[in-house]
Structure 1
Amino acid sequence: MSTQNTTTSTPATKARPAPRAKLTDTLELDTRLMGMIGAFILVMVVFNVLTDGRFLTPRNIFNLTIQTVSVAIMATGMVFVIVTRHIDLSVGALLATCSAVMAMMQTAWLPQLLGLPLGHPLIPWLAIGAGILTGGLIGAFQGYLSGYLMIPAFIVTLGGLLVWRNTAWYLTNGQTIGPLDSTFQMFGGINGTLGEFWSWVIGIVATLAAIAALWAKRRDKIRHDFPVKPMWAEITLGAIIAGAILGFIAVLNSYQIPAARLNRQFEARGEVMPEGYSAAYGLPISVLLLIVVAVVMTVVARKTRLGRYIFATGGNPQAAELSGINTRLLTVKVFAIMGALCAISAVVASARLTNHSNDIGTLDELRVIAAAVIGGTALAGGIGTIYGAILGALIMQSLQSGMAMVGVDAPLQNIVVGSVLVLAVLIDIIYRRRTGKG
């Protein structure tokens, strides 16, 4: 008996279209970073309105960048410290000690010990080397106390805040030391800029390097069979980065050196300034130094074994130690890096003032921690970015500069900055809770 197969016809089901990906997902953009950039833009727009357009002038943007550098450099190191579940309350005091060492090296110790006359070309570089060595050794010592002797970093660096602040006072007998070497002062900002031509060269090189990095990242993904962004998304992201870099250079190059200052520069060379001559400040050397530090720290965080160990230890210290990571030595290394960065920041801070003063770096420890936290570094450890910390420092400096231009009193400025810090931590907690990233 043959059986006949019968098929029941069912209405054709229409295939559902795949959900369209969000633009931020297509471009693989960090939504938290986008929120920070949006907040930064909002701050600038609000203060620009309140100051009748004075906040976004090339002159103020130039000043804003050189005022941010010192805190931003230390904030990159604070990312490593907080990621490994530590804290450093001594960075402002350590900056003061390094500044005092470098100032005394320039004005007293090198001329007396080596017989180098003031203005000798080796003096600023020997002083900077001594300052970085001092900062690195002090940082390593504090890391040893915390990592090997198991004293909490909070206590070690709280004591360091008092010790190193007053060490700086004794090194200089409480005096202001200066003026510092003219070559040294070039790291301070307005006394050391690249000019219009070399600023464009740096901007173009940075743009090409950023685009090359994007292309290299895409090729690596293709080589390992990872999904890649559409080509239009890559081009869009590259255009945004190029526009940001070259736009920043264009703004700095539009800030013209006053004619009186130019005239003094020509007179110092025994020349006469040509009629109608003009020149722009361009990119400050201190900002270029910050860019170099940011690139180096980012490479360390993402491309080196040390960076992997730092984030692994911050994510789970017990698991990291069981996997063979020497977490005690790692703590020493992290604090040594922090100390060296404090010395580099001391170069920028004292060069900008053209002297060493007793109050240099005061409250910088709070600004540096706030910059790192506002930039997305989790106090619980394991999470943080270098560019986020720099953006956090820029947001904080924008708030302070804007309030100063509006006429807000200094106490109220600190109240606002403190409130912003608490709000930033609250937003970060809510964001990580909702996204499951922390």
Structure 2
Amino acid sequence: MKNTTQLAEKVEGEPIWTRFLRATEIDARLLGMIAALALIWVGFHLYGVIINDFGAFLTPRNLWNLSVQTASIGVMATGMVLVIVTRHIDLSVGSILGITGMCMAIMQVRILPEIFGLGHPMIWIISIITGLIIGTVIGAIHGYLIAYHGIPAFIVTLGGLLVWRGVAFLLTRGETISPVDTTFAKLGGGPYGAIGAGASWAIGLLGCAAVFWFMIQGRRTRARFDFPQRPIWAEGFVAAVSCASILGLVMLVNAYPWPKGIVKKYVAENNIDTPINEIFISHGFAIPVLILIAVGVGMTFLTTRTRFGRYVFAIGGNPDAAELAGINTRWVTVKIFALMGALCSLSAVIASARLGSASAQLGQLDELYVIAAAVIGGTSFAGGIGTIYGAILGAVVMQSLQTGMVLIGFDAAMQQIVVGSVLVFAVWVDTLYRRRAK
């Protein structure tokens, strides 16, 4: 009982909102991002209602597509968190995505079919493994130049941005490589790249079970080390909100049905007698979204539960002190950039599968959106501060802005102006936050 009251005790003159945040241990910046996201969504939807008498933003179709579009940027943003936390920057992520996507497409279209035959089940697997290896090696090269030769990350990755984009162009002289393997294409989403209603509910219930398991394990760990416990009401509140969010997301993705044209084809192929208008087949979670969730969980575990993660934040907090403490900062830097390259390759899988092809322009300007997502998500350029969930939420914010501007008719130039302004504003907010925290 002693530990419980330590987090819930009342401080003289302290606002109730502050006590609530301390008891639940909810990050105030996270709430700020959620509020900003809600404002963006409602604002774009109401704009559509006012101008066109129909709001297209807050619909299952748009939000489902938004989740798929966010996946590629979100995966890379999780790696950018580690890069920025250690006071570096990676401007080459879009070009690495482009070169690895091109290599995977060439493997599927020109090389592996000659070896295994068209449609062989190993084609897409070998292609992905090849892309992951190439991305990891490129990232490791960048990290080696930064860590062991003292070249600033800005210069190395700026050079990488130009070099790898040029290599991607030279591989095919600017040609678009298509079509990719049919199984590989499912990794990009779409009606055939989603898991359906039943599997989505299973994942949702599994997620809720995981929430309760982590709550119980967290309380046991705190009790073992005599750390302050959250009040029971706070634990219940966090668990209820988390489960409600998960189940609400499941309901959303299940509310988006297959298009009628695809349903018609499905009915014909399976000799179904039910009229098409009476058939409702849910998309469920798209595979790219599941990839993003898996990466988010894995990267969160890596940063919060492993020695490597502790080293990353120690280096970001004070590089000299980390070096004196015995941390091999240069080797950690190489691993961070190698991981960033691997995540770029995984994003290339999603991006090229979604398009069904690869071109030299694949991933162009993605570095802007990835950096912006990480910074908007609370990662500080001063180093030592950043969260994986914040970066993913930042990616959702960035993609929401893009999608909303497309729906209301903003051209590409205006979209870039808005994104650039949001990035500068996010850095300014981070600067103010750090000043007040001192």
TM-score bucket of the superposed structures, by smaller chain: over 0.9
The answer to whether structure 1 residue 204 and structure 2 residue 205 are counterparts is: yes
Match of 1:145 in 2: 145
- The CA deviation at 1:435 is 2.1
Separation of aligned partners in 2, 1:340 and 1:302: 20
Which residue does the alignment assign to 1:416?
418
My pick for the range that moved more, 43-52 or 331-340, is 43-52
Shift of 1:173: 2.4
Q: Does 1:44 align with 2:46?
A: no
Residue 17 (structure 1) shift: 7.0
Return 185-194 or 88-97, whichever deviates more. 185-194
Structure with larger Rg:
1
* SS of aligned partner of 1:148: helix
Q: Does 1:318 align with 2:320?
A: yes
In the TM superposition, what is the alpha-carbon distance from 1:358 to its structure 2 partner? 2.1
Q: 1:287 to 1:226 in 2, by over 3 A?
A: same
In terms of fraction of residues, the more helix-rich structure is 2
Q: Give me the whole-angstrom Cα distance separating, in 1, the residues matched to 2:12 and 2:186.
A: 60
Match of 2:186 in 1: 186
SS at match of 1:56: coil
The answer on whether the counterparts of 1:262 and 1:273 sit within 8 Å (CA) in structure 2 is no
Report the secondary structure of 1:229's partner residue: coil
Amino acid at match of 1:304: T
Closer, same or farther in 2 for the Cα pair 1:157/1:273, shift >3 Å?
A: farther
Q: Verify: 1:23 aligned to 2:20, yes or no.
A: yes
Task: Give secondary structure in 1 for the equivalent of 2:116.
Answer: coil
Q: Could you tell me how far apart the structure 1 residues matched to 2:427 and 2:310 are?
A: 25
Please say if residues 113 and 119 of structure 2, whose CA atoms lie closer than 8 Å, have aligned partners that are also in contact: no
Q: Give the deviation of 1:220 after TM superposition.
A: 1.2
RMSD after superposition? 1.4
Partner of 1:116: 116
| Post-superposition offset of 1:22 | 2.4
Conserved 8 A contact 1:98-1:343:
yes
1:362, distance to aligned residue in structure 2 (A) = 0.5
Deviations 1:300-339 (A, max 9, x none): 0001111011110111111111111111111110000000
Counterpart mapping for 1:324-339 below 5 A: 324-339=326-341
Q: Please give the secondary structure, in 1, of the residue aligned with 2:193.
A: coil
Does 2:261 align with 1:264?
Answer: no
Cα distance between partner residues in 1 of 2:398 and 2:215: 29
Shift of 1:24: 1.6
TM-score between both structures, scaled by the size of structure 1: 0.93
Q: Secondary structure at the match of 1:51?
A: helix
Instruction: Give 1:226 shift.
Output: 1.5
Change (3 A) 1:108 1:27: same
Question: Contact 2:77/2:391 (CA < 8 Å) preserved in 1?
Answer: yes
Show structure 2 runs of 5+ residues with no match.
1-10, 50-54
Tell me the percent identity: 52
Structure 2: distance between partners of 1:58 and 1:65: 11
Quote how far apart the aligned CAs of 1:239 are: 0.5
Q: CA deviation at 1:354?
A: 0.7
Aligned pair 1:237/2:238, yes or no?
yes
Q: Deviations over 1:122-159 (max 9, x none)?
A: 00000000000000001001111111111111111100
- For the pair 1:167 / 2:164, whether they are aligned, the reply is no
Any conservation in 1 of the 2:40–2:401 contact (CA below 8 Å)?
Answer: yes
Q: 5+ unaligned residues in a row in structure 1: which ranges?
A: 1-15
Equivalent residues, number: 418
Distance in 1 between residues matched to 2:101 and 2:27, nearest whole Å: 37
| Deviation (angstroms), 1:223 | 2.0
- CA spacing shift, 1:340–1:17, aligned 2, 3 Å: closer
Q: Is the 8 A contact 1:139 1:338 kept in 2?
A: yes
**Aligned residue in 2 for 1:425:** 427
- Structure 2 CA distance, aligned partners of 1:17 and 1:235? 26
Q: 1:35 aligns with which of 19, 32, 37?
A: 32
Letter in 2 for 1:204: L
The equivalent position to 1:84 in structure 2, one of 78, 83, 86, is 86
CA contact (8 A) 2:143 2:337 kept: yes
The Cα of 1:400 is off from its aligned counterpart by: 0.9
